[in-house]
Structure 1
């Protein structure tokens, strides 16, 4: 990856230029997964359920740094996301998305949501998370959950 400058979300990127986006799935020590409902005011997928926290990298951030910051901003959880936690990288028309998974001590009482991003959070078993994401989640979330759980030996 080579950093070529800065852009705002509304900017059109030149062909062959991409911005970096990240997502971090969080599991507690018992193997439950943290899911979040997107704010009803989001431009894309308002009110949908998704895994963990995520967003675009800021200038100078690599994937792990961006994922660590996003978890802190959206959930107020101090979780360090190492490079070795990345389990997927997807390429889209104008962005690259890196997926990370972290297992840590998490309690719902410790989660303080960024209300502009998150409407509510739940800590669910894998089975319950699959049901919720199938019924009201964004496409591909169950496959991401299964891949992350398998990486941690939780499936």
Structure 2
């Protein structure tokens, strides 16, 4: 078996296109064609209008050592998107941030996952973060423009439209 920090036996709800739960499966199983699991992701802004980005751990199954959004991951069985993003932010960054539907900015459909994106603001400073080393190698602050470049050059994906939507939410 692959040496990874990911929990291959965690349980996921499986959804149809309309977000109806149609079953449950373990992470290490392939999602049936035409169905999805739920993924949540967030961009978190600081008081200085900087964006927290994380570099994934070298032991991650997918995209090790690549730069990514502030926090995110798969929703576990029984979690809705708000519960999942709250848990992921706490697990990966050690932050307890109130997340509501007002923070939800966009939903993306991918081949076998639905990804719900959130934008948040925090008054906390970088020294208050408690990163989970098994998941996150490091975190850094970036201006919007630098975050665009960092994700385009070294990221899991560029996330340009999601980052732009988060910036527009932040600037409201």
Give the TM-score, by structure 1 length: 0.91
Does 2:169 match 1:147? no
Q: Which residue of 2 aligns with 1:82?
A: 100
Q: Which residue of 1 aligns with 2:154?
A: 136
Q: Which residue of 1 aligns with 2:127?
A: 109
Q: Distance in 2 between matches of 1:151 and 1:2?
A: 28
Does 2:67 match 1:42? no
Cα distance per residue 1:67-108 (max 9 Å; x no partner): 011000000000121122111111122211100111121211
Return the offset for 1:109: 0.6
> Equivalent residue of 1:12, what SS?
coil
Q: Distance in 1 between matches of 2:31 and 2:148?
A: 35
Q: Which runs of 5+ in 1 are unaligned?
A: none
Cα RMSD for the two superposed structures: 1.6
Q: 1:91 and 1:77, CA in 2 relative to 1: closer, same or farther beyond 3 A?
A: same
Q: Distance in 1 between matches of 2:68 and 2:124?
A: 17
Runs of 4+ deviating beyond 6 Å? none
Q: Distance in 2 between matches of 1:75 and 1:21?
A: 17
Q: Which of 22, 38, 44 lines up with 1:4 in the alignment?
A: 22
Q: Which of 114, 137, 143 lines up with 1:119 in the alignment?
A: 137
> Equivalent residue of 1:89, what SS?
strand
Q: Which runs of 5+ in 2 are unaligned?
A: 1-18
Give the TM-score, by structure 2 length: 0.82
Aligned length: 154
